[in-house]
Amino acid sequence: MNLLFLIASLFSSFLIVNSTVTCNYGDTEYDGYCYTFVDQHLHFPDAQAYCASLGGVLVRFRGNADGRWLTSTAATKFHATYGNFWIGLHYVKNANNENKTLIWDDGHDVNYTNWFSGSPFSGYDYVGARLADTKWVSLLAETPLPFICYYQKGQNRNQPTTPVPSELPTGICDGAELLLGHRCFFFNPTLLNYDLAKQECEKARKTLAIFDDFSQINFVTSTAISKFSMTYGSFWISLRKNSNDENDKKFYWADGSVNTLSNWTPGYPFQNQFVVSLQVSNSKWKTSDNSTYMPSVCSGYVQ
């Protein structure tokens, strides 16, 4: 009886620990997996080695929806809308060295393919995905490309994972879809103008999104791509200029603090526009006409 109790206790502890394990800091979670977007241009073997050093492998596309999310997020992380990135797919020679087999780095069978027209090419044994349309192209191993590593959520890696509460703090962050530092974020896909988006956040005792650092900006943008099913366009955040004082060139967050982050799209801000949106294609913000209808992100603050 004591032995059974001990086993049950250990199993319960295992479940509790695993329920609070998340991805490593800086990685992006999606559908039970954690992704590391590496904006370094490496040859295929070097990209493999880099992922292995983190305890992961080059990414596997599990289907169309998975591929769309990976590609749209990569476009944001790599600040590009065209070009290729390495995935963990390549040919290996069979034992007789006559035929080649297509394999994933994580050992899964290749039961889904998404080749670009004309690919694969003979003699080009390594595979990249196109940022423009998620399609695959065969390439030479020495092609330098950015890449994505991945691992299953909770898997033991060479970097320590960071435990998070199994439940978000009660109160202002109830129902939050993302918790980063002291801020929780909520994604509203309804297309609203700036004033209506602001009102919707305030009804829920939130504000339009406030950001403390670039890490929050990047995480929220990559999540917005998934939540809003968009790879271009913008969403409302709380940053705005004082429209009542022409001499005041500063921009302010909804809590009244002055913005100190330099994250403008080149050419912005426009002089006669006072409110700000965040572009999903490059994680940069721009001034917008407040009558424009777009999605929005609200945020709350956790003490």
pLDDT reported for residue 32: 85
190 and 101 in one domain? no
Same domain membership, residue 255 and residue 186: yes
Pick from 117, 152, 187: which residue ends a domain?
152
Mean pLDDT is lowest, of 104-113, 121-130, 153-162, 225-234, for 153-162
pLDDT of residue 31: 86
Say how many domains are in the chain: 2
Confidence check: pLDDT of 93 > 90: no
Where residue 239 falls among pLDDT bands split at 50, 70, 90? very high
- Answer yes or no: is 19 within a domain: no
Higher pLDDT residue, 113 or 20?
113
Contact 286, 234 (CB under 8 A): yes
Would the pLDDT of 250 be above 50? yes
Q: Is pLDDT at 230 greater than 90 in this prediction?
A: no
What pLDDT is attached to residue 178?
A: 84
169 inside domain: no
Query: Do residues 232 and 118 both lie within one domain?
Result: no
Residue 239 and residue 196 share a domain: yes
Model confidence at 65: pLDDT above 50: yes
Classify residue 191: in a domain, yes or no.
yes
Same domain? For 131 and 182 the reply is: no
Distance in angstroms (rounded) separating the CA atoms of residues 46 and 198: 47
CB 182 within 8 A of CB 172: no
Identify whether residues 191 and 292 lie together within a single domain.
Answer: yes
Decide which of 58 and 107 is more confident. 58
Q: Which of 152, 167, 194 is the last residue of a domain?
A: 152
Average pLDDT for residues 74-99, to the nearest whole number? 84
Q: Find out whether 138 and 120 touch, Cβ atoms under 8 Å.
A: yes
Residue numbers of the domain that contains 203: 178-301
Note whether residue 165 is domain-resident.
Answer: no
Asked whether the predicted pLDDT for residue 297 surpasses 80, the reply is yes
Tell me which range, 46-55, 197-206, 215-224, is most confidently predicted by mean pLDDT. 197-206
For 165-191, the pLDDT digits (tens) are 334 444 678 788 888 878 889 999 999
Q: Is the same domain home to 186 and 67?
A: no
Predicted pLDDT of residue 173: 81
Flag whether 168 is in a domain: no
> In the predicted model, is pLDDT for residue 201 greater than 70?
yes
pLDDT tens digits along 120-147: 988 899 999 999 999 999 999 999 999 9
11 in a structural domain: no
Kindly state the tokens that stand for 222: 């990559």
Residue 213 maps to a domain:
yes
Question: Do 51 and 138 fall into the same domain?
Answer: yes
148 lies in the same domain as 255:
no
Please give the Cα distance from 219 to 236 (Å, whole number): 15
> Among residues of the chain, what percentage have pLDDT more than 90?
41
Query: What share of the chain has pLDDT > 70, as a percent?
Result: 85
Q: Kindly report, residue by residue over 206-227, the tens digit of the pLDDT.
A: 999 999 988 888 888 888 888 8
Say which CATH number the domain at 196 has: 3.10.100.10
User: Does 226 lie in the same domain as 140?
Assistant: no
Final residue in a domain of this structure, among 110, 136, 152:
152
Residues 297, 184 share a domain? yes
